[in-house]
Amino acid sequence: MLTHAPFPLTFVAGHQSVLHDADGHAYIDMLGDYTAGLLGHGDARVLDAVATALRTNASVGGVHPAETQLAEAMCERFHLDKVRFTNSGSEANLMAITTAIQATARRKILVFHGGYHGGLLYFATGIAPWNAPYDFVVAPYNDSAATQRLIAEHGASLAAVVMEPMLGSGGCIAADATFAHDVYVAAHSVGAVFIADEVMTSRHGRSGMFNLLGVKPDISTFGKYIGGGFSFGAFGGRADLLDYYDTSPEAGRVTVVAHAGTFNNNVASMTAGCVVLGDVFTAEIAQAHTARGDDFRQSVAAVLAQSGLPVCVSGFGSMMSLHALAEVPHNAHDVAARNHDLQELLFLGLLERGVYTAARGMMNLSLTLTDDQLAEVLAALSETLAAVRGA
């Protein structure tokens, strides 16, 4: 993902929304580290709090106050009964699936074509051969009827349905509200656990994107920006599911699921998360940032429409993706039909004009982007499209 001919960019410095590479070039950072860089670069509130905490505690091998504080903040913000911490969103998704398997005594996991839930849970083109060895069923995204049929067909052996409210790595394809609700109801009708992958999309609205769609998952997974630049992951939800990890004598559990991890509750990530949710990215700021992203995406769409080229933009809130397609894609099959040469020219044209995006077209707004910088991005996009059209 980071390698691109003739060699990958090497960044040596970043300040707010600007990145500097090893050759002295400056770029407006429109990638936002694939949604992890929501705060921009060098947020003093996070860095100062972490530095202060690390002077007192570094790696304690036990519980510490910031862990409890962050757990309380996440449960309140995202409407969770309980939450557990991991080192990444990938680990959070693996643990969420493990929880569902233990709770249901079933083995099959329904996922969606184009979905991405970590390096070992990769479905961009179906089931990857390097995936964790679960028994997967792959459904088409944004197709209620086909998904409902698959859930009914495999219902007796289905442990969980794992779903992103928007395919992130798959092209920023948002779920239709009806589709999301239908999948949730169908999963519950067969006794499967509904797992929401909100590693990227929990930035949307006050309490995440599924909340905006009117769906309350059984388990939700988190990661990316909550760590404020430090490694972070979490999974949380219904108490009866999270209680499979309760080792206290009072719980009286015959079977307890082990969840080890030296750095699961590391001081740096826990401290950073407290600052992020408590100060830097409050529910009110998250709501405003989602609206700002929607407005910017409309401006991008207007620039693309004026170009006369088969290009479009998809997304939700502060996450979006450029596509070398005439129509906005509805699923991963649509994304696969993009004009790859034109897609590459969009990426390189923006890069040449000082705008850093993902080669696959993804853009994510950070909090530090100014209105002037967003105007520069729109101008660079317009110039890129004109150059491509002229050629």
- What's the pLDDT tens digit per position in 261-271? 999 999 999 99
Mean pLDDT over 295-302 rounds to: 98
Token pair recorded at residue 358: 């993902």
Name the pLDDT band for 249 (thresholds 50, 70, 90): confident
Radius of gyration (C-alpha) of the chain in whole angstroms: 21
Name the pLDDT band for 163 (thresholds 50, 70, 90): very high
Mean pLDDT over 320-337 rounds to: 97
Confidence (pLDDT) at 5: 85
Confidence (pLDDT) at 353: 98
Q: How confident is the prediction for the chain on average, in pLDDT?
A: 96
Phi, psi of 284 (to 5 degrees): -65, -45
Could you give the CA distance from residue 102 to residue 199 in angstroms, rounded to a whole number?
22
Name the pLDDT band for 97 (thresholds 50, 70, 90): very high
Confidence (pLDDT) at 165: 98
Can you give the residue ranges of every domain in the chain? Answer: 11-42+283-390, 44-280
Mean pLDDT over 86-91 rounds to: 97
Name the pLDDT band for 252 (thresholds 50, 70, 90): confident
Mean pLDDT over 167-192 rounds to: 98
Token pair recorded at residue 356: 């850093």
Could you give the CA distance from residue 64 to residue 47 in angstroms, rounded to a whole number?
19
**Nearest partner of 64 among 253, 354, 263, judged by Cα:** 263
> What's the gap between Cα 339 and its chain centre?
25
Q: In this structure, are residues 389 and 307 in contact, taking their beta carbons and an 8 Å threshold? A: yes
Token pair recorded at residue 301: 């769409």
Instruction: Give residue for tokens 């680990």.
Output: 91
DSSP annotation of 176 reads P
User: pLDDT tens digit string along 63-72?
Assistant: 999 999 999 9
* DSSP H or E segment with residue 162: strand 158-163
Confidence (pLDDT) at 24: 96
> What's the gap between Cα 72 and its chain centre?
21
User: pLDDT tens digit string along 337-376?
Assistant: 999 999 999 999 999 999 999 999 999 999 999 999 999 9
Q: Which CATH architecture has domain 11-42+283-390?
A: Alpha-Beta Complex (3.90)
Give the helix ranges, DSSP H, for the chain: 44-56, 65-78, 89-104, 144-154, 177-189, 209-212, 239-242, 267-275, 283-307, 332-336, 340-352, 371-390
Q: Is the dihedral of CA 87, 88, 90, 93 positive or negative?
A: positive
Q: Specify the pairing of strand 233-237 against strand 82-86.
A: antiparallel
User: pLDDT tens digit string along 50-87?
Assistant: 999 999 998 899 999 999 999 999 999 999 999 999 99
Q: In this structure, are residues 358 and 171 in contact, taking their beta carbons and an 8 Å threshold? A: no
Q: In this structure, are residues 39 and 281 in contact, taking their beta carbons and an 8 Å threshold? A: yes
User: pLDDT tens digit string along 197-212?
Assistant: 999 999 999 999 999 9
Confidence (pLDDT) at 7: 84
Instruction: Give residue for tokens 């007796």.
Output: 156
Q: In this structure, are residues 150 and 161 in contact, taking their beta carbons and an 8 Å threshold? A: no
Confidence (pLDDT) at 301: 98
Domains 11-42+283-390 and 44-280 share a fold: no
- The helix/strand/coil state of 69 is helix
Mean pLDDT over 177-204 rounds to: 98
Q: Class of 44-280 per CATH?
A: alpha beta
pLDDT at 120 over 90: yes
Name the pLDDT band for 250 (thresholds 50, 70, 90): confident
Confidence (pLDDT) at 32: 97
Confidence (pLDDT) at 2: 82
Between the CA of residue 379 and those of 303, 317, 322, 376, what are the distances in Å? 9, 21, 15, 5
Confidence (pLDDT) at 8: 86
Name the pLDDT band for 1 (thresholds 50, 70, 90): confident
Q: Percent of the chain, pLDDT > 90?
A: 93
How many residues would you count in the chain?
391
Q: Kindly give the interhelix angle for 144-154 and 177-189, rounded to the nearest 10 degrees.
A: 10
Name the pLDDT band for 253 (thresholds 50, 70, 90): confident
Residues 6+ apart with CB under 8 A from 343: 322, 323, 324, 359, 360, 361
Confidence (pLDDT) at 318: 98
